[in-house]
Amino acid sequence: MRTASQDDVCEVACVHPEAVARVRAVQPDASCVEDATSLLKMIADPTRFRILSALNAEELCVCDLAAVVGISESAVSHQLRLLRAHRLVAFRKEGRIAYYRLLDQHITSLIGGAVDHVRE
């Protein structure tokens, strides 16, 4: 009798050298892997993800973000500094108000894709 864990592995040891070579040729280098995993760790925090998700809807000021996420303006500012340092958000000043947005389409797609994936 087979167990579920036996069904999800190869039944015989068989390496496909051509497939291995093709995939190795397109793997990111160590620096890229480190940067990408750092970015994903930054997004993985629930508070930061809520901030990013809010900014995926539209550009918001710090006060509005605090109201949407349900934390203090000081806490939002702290998280935004981290997100800016990891190149996830950008800001602009309009008078004395700081408005934040997602940095680029890559981040927009990443946040939107994550939400879409878990909603399916």
Q: Quick: pLDDT tens for 71-118.
A: 999 999 999 999 999 999 999 999 999 999 999 999 999 999 999 999
Q: Which of 107, 28, 93 is nearest to 62 (CA)?
A: 93
Statement: residue 1 has pLDDT above 60: no
- What's the pTM value of the predicted model, to 2 decimals? 0.85
pLDDT score at 10:
84
- CA torsion sign for 59, 64, 69, 74 is positive
Q: Judge residue 24's burial from the number of C-beta atoms within 10 Å of its C-beta, 0-12 exposed, 13-18 middle, 19 or more buried.
A: exposed
> Residue 62 and residue 51: Cα distance in Å, rounded?
10
